[in-house]
Amino acid sequence: MRYSSISSNLFVSNRRNFTAAMDGNTIGLLCSNDIQPTNADDSMGFAQNNDLFYLSGIDQEESILLMYPDAYKEENREILFIKKTDEDIRIWEGDKLTKADASKISGIKRVEWEEDFEKILQLIAFEADGFYLGHNEHIKRSTKDLETRQDRLIKWCKIKYPLHEYHRAAKITRTLRQIKGPEEIAMIQKAADISIQGFEKVLSSVKPGMMEYELEAELSYIFLKRGAVRHAFKPIVACGGNACALHYNSNDGTCADGEMILMDFGVCYGNYNSDTTRCFPVNGKFTKRQKEVYRAVLNCLQLGSRLLKPGILSADYEEQMAKLIEHELVNLGLLKTSDIAVQDPEKPLYKKYFMHGTAHHIGLDVHDVGLYSRPFEAGMVLTCEPGIYIPEEGIGCRLENDYLITENGAINLTAKMPIEIEEIEALMK
């Protein structure tokens, strides 16, 4: 395991909170993600189902968690099923978790082999009235051609136990996961710390004529060296006009002298993520116009992050952020107050230069689960990421930090990452 072990107390507490929210006499079933193939015998690598990880700490394929808090026999109230290691697997892949390992990580006493899941479930299923099953309800992109391990478990359960009631586990986890405990905050902070080191490495490496992917390589080197599991997402290294494409990540352009680079990147450490964005000049010196745009965005970040406090609704926060950016666009000469006064409120003029949201939850997912109709609360971790994009000038600027909301204001978990113009120029000298 690349990352520091997490106390099983976190997962015990998470399961206790989950089962307290279940209807009476129901069984919760969460399963791991698949390992997806690429071509021939290679695979895309493994990323655990985050709800399963949240409730068990198990970071291995072919795992199932069963929770039945009202089971008559205590031994049936929590059961963890893991992949059995045989000699062939041991030779070709190395050891998998032992039952003792899995019990220590999860805090679950009863651990069984995954191959015995169906038999053991049938012994207790008819005592229960229903099931809570997991499903990735948070995904925004089309999934019409995708079938996951969760999908197959749902299908199988409904065929095997058609007269049981069925409930959505995600409805519970999306509520619980929004509030981070101390152990989770520590993991996010560790991810943020590694990202800070990666950014400083990039600042010391960049020079005119480099390819964007060379800077991506500098990030990858530091992330892996410091124990990150992977990039939190495919990083954006966008020079000049490339930065005006919000999700540009081909990273195959040239870093030209006189242009500014937008770099949006994150670290996945122990399955918890950071997400930050910084902009910096290829030659180490911002132009006058780059400084003007940069300072406008930085001002929005500094003022906007103060709005991240308990009781604020996401929609109200985003509306105030839009007003901040609109004001800066006027100062930059991109909009006129007279035009704003008569604009169509359904099509505000600022959207020509700023077209995305500025705060999302972050945790086990980069865009973490939860309802944005829920007011901000202490213990939530959110990004703040204003931006201004001017394609006609070849300038795209976004700045992003990660903030922990507390009763006394937001704490910047990425405060040590250089962001002031003078600081960045000094480090690049």
Report the C-alpha gap between 70 and 72 in whole angstroms: 6
Predicted pLDDT of residue 247: 94
Q: Is the confidence at residue 39, as pLDDT, over 80?
A: yes
Q: Is the pLDDT score of 136 beyond 90?
A: no
What is the average pLDDT across 273-287? 98
Percent of the chain with pLDDT over 70: 99
32 touches 64 (CB < 8 A): yes
Instruction: Report, as an integer, the average pLDDT of 171-175.
Output: 96
The CATH fold assigned to 8-176 is Creatine Amidinohydrolase; Chain A, domain 1 (3.40.350)
Which residues, other chains included, contact 48 with Cβ-Cβ below 8 Å and sequence gap of 6+?
32, 33, 58, 59, 60, 271
Q: Which residue has the higher pLDDT, 42 or 199?
A: 199
Handedness of CA 120, 123, 127, 131 (dihedral sign): positive
Q: What is the mean pLDDT of the chain?
A: 95
Question: Is residue 52 predicted with pLDDT exceeding 80?
Answer: yes
Range(s) of the chain covered by CATH 3.90.230.10: 182-428
Residue 204: pLDDT above 70?
A: yes
Query: Is 169:137 a contact under the CB 8 Å cutoff?
Result: no
**pLDDT average, residue stretch 324-344:** 97
Q: What is the chain's Cα-based Rg? A: 24
- pLDDT range class, residue 220, cuts 50, 70, 90: very high
- The Cα–Cα gap between 336 and 425 comes to 32
Least confident of 83-97, 323-337, 346-360, 375-389: 83-97
Q: pLDDT at position 141, please?
A: 63
Q: What's the average model confidence in pLDDT over 396-405?
A: 98
Distance CA 368, CA 381 (A): 9
- CATH number for the domain running over 182-428: 3.90.230.10
% the chain with pLDDT above 90? 89
